[in-house]
Amino acid sequence: MHLHILGICGTFMGGIAAIARAAGHRVTGCDANVYPPMSTQLAALGIELTPGWDAAQLAGVAKDADVFVVGNVVSRGNALMEAILDSSRAYVSGPQWLYENVLAGRWVLAVAGTHGKTTTTSMLAWILDRAGLDPGFLIGGAPVDFPVSARLTDSAFFVIEADEYDTAFFDKRSKFVHYRPRTLVLNNLEYDHADIFADLAAIETQFHHLLRMVPPHGRVIVNDADAALGRVLARGLWSESERFGMDEGNGGGDGGGGDGARRGAARWTLAGDATVTLDGVAQGALALALPGRHNALNALAALAAARHVGVPVTQGMAALASFSGVRRRLERRGEADGVVVYDDFAHHPTAVAASLAALRGKVGHDRIIAVLEPRSNTMKLGAMKAALPASFAMADRVFCYDANVGWDVAAALAPLGAKASVERDLDALIAKIVTEARQGDQVLVMSNGGFGGIHAKLLARLDARGRR
């Protein structure tokens, strides 16, 4: 079969391309921006890439395509898509193609939630891999321990990052409703994706739809301290469930997971000394290289999910001890003139706060300089601006890049006073950071995009400063 993939350079669609190629299909594709690293990864697989959306592809590279796989970056008005519709050619969304051609018949382990999906999915895939289960997987990021973010194997198990963003312009359901998991992790749930969801209740409805697809002997593993997930579960839970959370020293508490999640469900906890317990029985100490409470919870959820497919807890913890993390999650990019620069994918106030707290726990009293590009659609719309000041509590100094933002960033950060600076020019932002950074400082750069290559530019300027 010949697949022509529209939006092929996105992480998810690129993963589908790699999986389809591994399954023996001919794969071609196009995107608005064809550039490394995805372009080089796909080219290495023998996948021909076409820049742009020219309808002439129908008479060229895609002339013999059996089906067009459409990413959610494509909307009506796209020249190629309009030509596909006009010519009555076959098309399908990425998630639907994935289910029909890969996931159907497999034991799907899906990780959903606003935060932590990529890390938890990577942890879970790593645990199953170390246990010899050779899982297939599709991860929305770059796990350090695997050379690829997506792979197809002969295993009965497939681990997938389950995104709540919509499927395609012709299918406005969340992508994850196509996956039909048997094991489902629900990490947390907050308002996000303000460009497509009116409010948190709308997202909760999509999660409710997801729960309706888990079979009765499937298992839902839920963060029982999350009130929004509690509301989702209260609307109906037809499967087995287990809860996870931190041991706050109060006997576990009632949590926020709703009656459906609490009644008769096993409970996982992680104590301050890293002891993992299951229904009050100690399972051992978790040794995790990744800092932060949020990563500890991610690990706990991954252990519970792996146990559902038969991986003993001790074996799961041994695998996590060697887990190296995910690129762009507190990734140390380098050090120059005594200043360390990190890269992080955080772009939501909750994620910003969690990343800063994790870094604070790692570096102690060193000064932390936070640098944020509010680039996501939600941030560009200003839906989270009121929560931004509090998210920087762990930072000593804050810089924000406000190019292409449709609201007054300086006004939003005014509660931080002289602690915060806002710059519209990238070179000016870098110059100011280099001027103020001192030896021993930790610079945490946060964005869900490339941020104009700021990490390398900062390190180069700091290095030049040190040579003077």
- CATH of residue 395's domain is 3.90.190.20
Same domain for 10 and 60, yes or no, is yes
Q: CATH no. for residue 215?
A: 3.40.1190.10
| Cα 343 from Cα 370, distance rounded (Å) | 11
Same domain for 170 and 264, yes or no, is yes
pLDDT for the residue numbered 36: 66
81: exposed, middle or buried (C-beta count within 10 Å: 0-12, 13-18, 19+)? buried
**Are 358 and 291 a contacting pair, CB within 8 Å?**
yes
Token pair recorded at residue 308: 């559902």
- Answer with the residue of higher pLDDT: 120 or 273: 120
Q: How many CA within 13 A on the CB side of residue 214?
A: 26
- Beta-carbon contacts of 269 under 8 Å, excluding residues fewer than 6 positions away, are 244, 245, 246, 247, 252, 276, 277, 300
Q: State which H helix or E strand residue 422 sits in.
A: strand 420-423
**Does 380 reside within a domain?**
yes
Average pLDDT, the chain: 89
Same domain for 442 and 346, yes or no, is yes
Q: Which amino acid is at 201?
A: A
**Does 438 reside within a domain?**
yes
Mean pLDDT of 24-49: 86
Helix axes 227-234, 200-211, angle to 10 degrees: 50
- pTM of the predicted model, to two decimals? 0.85
Partners of residue 245 on adjacent β-strands: 269
pLDDT for the residue numbered 260: 41
Lowest mean pLDDT among 167-171, 311-315, 386-390, 432-436: 386-390
Q: Collapsing DSSP states into helix, strand and coil, what is residue 438?
A: coil
- The total of structural domains in the chain comes to 3
Same domain for 392 and 440, yes or no, is yes
- The domain boundary, picked from 320, 341, 375, lies at 320
- The domain boundary, picked from 95, 124, 143, lies at 95
Task: Tell me: pLDDT of 225 over 90.
Answer: no
Same domain for 129 and 78, yes or no, is no
What is the 8-class DSSP label of residue 326?
Answer: B
The H-assigned helical ranges of 105-249 are 117-130, 200-211, 227-234
Same domain for 272 and 365, yes or no, is no
Same domain for 310 and 423, yes or no, is no
Smallest CA-to-CA distance from 351 within 381, 321, 380, 328 is with 328
**Does 440 reside within a domain?**
yes
- Answer with the residue of higher pLDDT: 41 or 253: 41
| Cα 307 from Cα 1, distance rounded (Å) | 37
**Does 181 reside within a domain?**
yes
Same domain for 413 and 463, yes or no, is yes
**Does 390 reside within a domain?**
yes
Query: How far lies 17's CA from each of 9, 74, 401, 437, 455, in Å?
Result: 9, 16, 34, 43, 29
Q: CATH no. for residue 64?
A: 3.40.50.720
At 374-433, the pLDDT tens digits run: 877 777 777 778 888 998 999 999 999 988 777 888 888 999 999 999 988 999 999 999
Token pair recorded at residue 217: 């002997």
The H-assigned helical ranges of 270-312 are 293-308
Q: Are strands 67-70 and 48-51 parallel, antiparallel or unpaired?
A: unpaired
**Does 40 reside within a domain?**
yes
Same domain for 400 and 303, yes or no, is no
Smallest CA-to-CA distance from 225 within 206, 250, 245, 198 is with 245
- The domain boundary, picked from 65, 95, 125, lies at 95
Smallest CA-to-CA distance from 63 within 80, 46, 75 is with 80
**Does 176 reside within a domain?**
yes
Q: Are strands 136-138 and 150-151 parallel, antiparallel or unpaired?
A: antiparallel
Task: Tell me: pLDDT of 344 over 50.
Answer: yes
pLDDT for the residue numbered 250: 43
Smallest CA-to-CA distance from 402 within 370, 369, 371, 433 is with 371
Domain that holds residue 52: 2-95
**Does 100 reside within a domain?**
no
- Answer with the residue of higher pLDDT: 148 or 61: 61
Mean pLDDT of 254-263: 43
Same domain for 265 and 247, yes or no, is yes
Q: Is the peptide bond before 389 cis (omega within 30 degrees of 0)?
A: no
Radius of gyration from C-alpha coordinates of the chain: 23
Task: Tell me: pLDDT of 207 over 80.
Answer: yes
Task: Tell me: pLDDT of 258 over 60.
Answer: no
* Torsion of Cα atoms, 247 then 251 then 190 then 138, to 10°: 50
Query: How far lies 264's CA from each of 106, 165, 259, in Å?
Result: 28, 32, 10
Same domain for 188 and 335, yes or no, is no
Same domain for 91 and 213, yes or no, is no
Q: DSSP string spanning 95-144? A: HHHHIIIIITTSEEEEEESSSSHHHHHHHHHHHHHHTT---EEE-SS-BT
